Amino acid sequence: MVIQKRFGLSMLALSCLALTACDHNDDDEPAPVPPADVSYSYEVTVQNLTQGQPLSPVGVALHGDAVMWEVGMSASAALEVLAEGGDNSDFTASEGVMASASGAGPIAPGSSEAITVTVVNEPDTFISVATMLVNTNDSFAGITGHALGELEVNQSMTMVLPVLDAGTEANSEVAGTIPGPADGGEGYNAERDDADLVSFHPGVVSADDGLTMSVLTAAHRFDNPAVKLTITRVE
């Protein structure tokens, strides 16, 4: 902003000089200065608050006024891929996404990662962030359609997130159905054998708490909130 103003002033000074130097040629207007591009950059910091649920690489997307999921609605195919297998590539490539970024890798319990996403000349975007709790069948945490337009540079917002259930895969917890290190089983599968509605997650049960077929233990249990999210506008 400051740079732009100074630039404008010096241009004005130059044009005055030019005017005084020339022969009162009023038709000789200076060429209009094209407005400079403005970048809007956001640093998204995701911290894992669980005891035993690594988070899949975080998907971050900037888009218009829309949501990428809603409790009570069927999950999109892109969200299903993320929530069942931890793969955010379809999610961040969804229609209408103006800019996106992915975390470098899984986030271990207690750890955090900062991811930066930038758009140019789009001051009023909305953000969606999603990550899978990988030792589950199809759970994820995130926010969607959160307005960024009122965030000033260096201003941030912090929130803690509950765990959601994509509703696309039954929470069987059986061997071969969970992609995380607790099992090393299958991730995404196009079949939908659950409610097919996004809901809050009922929690994992685990073999230690009476689900005899479960590959999970007490170490994989979680409660809300599971993720801390901070969004800071850095540019």
Strands (DSSP E) found in 103-151? 112-120, 126-132, 139-147
Rounded Cα–Cα distance for residues 188 and 199 (Å): 19
> Shortest gap between Cβ of 223 and another protein (angstroms)?
6
> Shortest gap between Cβ of 31 and another protein (angstroms)?
45
> Shortest gap between Cβ of 157 and another protein (angstroms)?
7
Write out the residues near another protein by the rule CB under 8 A.
71-72, 143, 146, 157-159, 162-163, 165, 167, 170-173, 195, 197-203, 205, 209-213, 223-224
Tokens of 162: 């509950």
> Shortest gap between Cβ of 125 and another protein (angstroms)?
17
Rounded Cα–Cα distance for residues 42 and 128 (Å): 12
Q: Classify the C-alpha dihedral 157-100-200-53 as positive or negative.
A: negative
Q: Which is nearer to another protein, 118 or 228 (CB)?
A: 228
Q: Which is nearer to another protein, 77 or 174 (CB)?
A: 174
Q: Which is nearer to another protein, 65 or 223 (CB)?
A: 223
> Shortest gap between Cβ of 141 and another protein (angstroms)?
12
Question: Using alpha carbons only, how large is the chain's radius of gyration in Å?
Answer: 24
Q: Classify the C-alpha dihedral 186-188-191-196 as positive or negative.
A: positive
215: left (phi over 0), alpha (psi -120 to 50) or beta: alpha
Q: Which is nearer to another protein, 102 or 198 (CB)?
A: 198
